[in-house]
Structure formats: structure tokens, C-alpha cells
Structure 1
Amino acid sequence: MQQQGTTVLVVEDSPMFRRMLSDMLQSLGYTRVLEAFSGQAAKELLAEQCPDLVCLDLTLPDISGYEVCEHIRATPALQNVPVLMISARSQTMDRAQAEEAGATGYLIKPFTPEELRLQVERVMAARPRKEA
């Protein structure tokens, strides 16, 4: 699976966790990893970039991951971008709310690099192919 030229946006407020997630994604072959520490920073980045995947923390300091996900789904240029929600919340309700907001996948912290790889492959496979 070739991820060269694939851009991933990591939205995570914990610097340590953001770094770890970026490193894991890079070890999976995703060379372009953008980072945002808040929902607002993510929205600003998304106004300029259309990543191939967004890894989105649910709990952000300003606006929730749900709101960021809804923003992505409401933006025509971004609506097909897969969103992998990442959260320490393991309640069925949180997962249901993430799906309702338009998340493509849901990954519960803590997770292994293998769990991340499987989820990333799953959400990337689920996205509609770009029209050539």
C-alpha cells in the first residue's frame, strides 16, 4: 500500500500524544503529517488544505472533535475526507455521536500501532474514490 503523497491531519491537544500519533503514521508510510492542537487550528488548516485523512481527537480545548467533524462534512471540498475519531471515551454513546457527526472510524486510546494501522486502512478503503 503506497501512502506517498498522502496528507494526514492529526488534531490532538496533547503534544506528547500528537507526536506519538504522527510518528506512528509516519512509520506506516504517511510522509506528510500536518498537526493541529485545537479545533480552531484544524479548521484554519482545513481552509487551506484538503488532507486525505483526518485523525481527530474528540476532546479538544476549544471546540469538540464532533464539531470539527461536522464542519468537515458540511464543507463540500472536504466532505469525502475520511475522519478517524480518536478518544479515550469508550462509551457506545460517544461512538454513536461520532458516527452521527460523520466520523468514518473510531479508535479508543490507548491503542497499539497495529490497531491504528488497521483502522487507518479501514477508513481509507471506505472513502469514495476521487474522480479521475
Structure 2
Amino acid sequence: MEQQQGAVLVVEDSPMFRRMVSDLLQSMGFSRVQEAGSGQAALEFLAEHRPVLVCLDLTLPDISGYEVCEFIRSTPVLQDIPVLMISARTQTMDRAQAEEAGVSGYLIKPFTPEEFRHQLERVLAARPRKEA
């Protein structure tokens, strides 16, 4: 896969899982992967940077992934960033709430690298292309 431009933000409170997602992204050509272990850390990063993609855990120790996604969608400079929600929650209600918050895709843990790649490609293909 060709080199991807821009940073990706991985928001996940499990260091092991965060590392795994970062490694998968790097293997797909994303060289700049930023990690946040909490919703607050994610919001602080987003206040200063505009990543090309956010991989967001639903269950965080402080504020939920829903709230982080709602922040992204309500911030004009961030609102069109693709957000891939990653969660161990399989309930239809959780997915519906995530979609309401504005996620671009929903991936259930555990997943295979192939499932991750497929969801990521789908989410990135769906984003509106900005003409310079």
C-alpha cells in the first residue's frame, strides 16, 4: 500500500490494543500514528491537529467515544474527518448510538487484520474529497 499522508489518531485506553491498531495502520502505509489513552487526551490532540482519520474506542476511562465523535462532528475544521469506532460492544443499540454520534464505520473487537483493513478502506473511500 502506498504511503499515506497525514496523521492518524488512535484513541484507545488499552496500551496493548492501542499498539496493535497503530502497528496495523503503519503496515497499511500510515507513517504518522498518534496515540491517545483517554477521551480527554484525544480532545487535547484534536484542539491542535487535524488528523486524516480517527480510530476511536467506544469505552474510554473518562469521556465516551460517542462524546469524542460528537466533538469532531460539531467542530467545523474537524467535521469531515473519517471516524472508525472500535468496540467490544456488539449490541445494535451501541452501533445505532455510534451512528447517531456520526461515526463513519463500526468495527467490533476482536477483529482480524483483514477486517480492520476492509473497514478502514471503506471509511476512507466514503469521505468527501476536498478539491484544493
TM-score by length of 1: 0.97
Distance 2:100 2:124 in 1: 19
Q: Give the corresponding residue for 2:45.
A: 45
Q: Give the corresponding residue for 1:31.
A: 31
Distance 1:3 1:100 in 2: 32
Q: Give the corresponding residue for 1:57.
A: 57
Question: Where in structure 2 are there 5+ consecutive unaligned residues?
Answer: none
Distance 1:94 1:37 in 2: 21
* 1:90-105 pair list within 5 angstroms: 90-105=90-105
Distance 1:41 1:3 in 2: 26
Counterpart check, 1:112 vs 2:83: no
Distance 1:67 1:61 in 2: 12
Q: Give the corresponding residue for 2:21.
A: 21
After the TM superposition, list the runs of 4 or more consecutive aligned residues in structure 1 that deviate by more than 6 angstroms.
Answer: none
Offset at residue 95 of structure 1 (A): 0.5
Distance 1:3 1:75 in 2: 28
How many residue pairs get aligned? The number is: 132
Distance 1:79 1:71 in 2: 8
Q: Supply the AA of the counterpart residue of 1:15.
A: P
TM-score by length of 2: 0.97
RMSD of aligned C-alpha atoms?
A: 0.9
Offset at residue 2 of structure 1 (A): 3.0
Q: Give the corresponding residue for 1:80.
A: 80
Offset at residue 29 of structure 1 (A): 1.0
1:15-34 Cα distance to aligned partner (Å, 9 max, x none): 01000110011111111101
Q: Supply the AA of the counterpart residue of 2:12.
A: E
Offset at residue 5 of structure 1 (A): 1.9
* 1:111-130 pair list within 5 angstroms: 111-130=111-130
Distance 2:116 2:11 in 1: 15
Question: Where in structure 1 are there 5+ consecutive unaligned residues?
Answer: none
SS at match of 2:35: strand
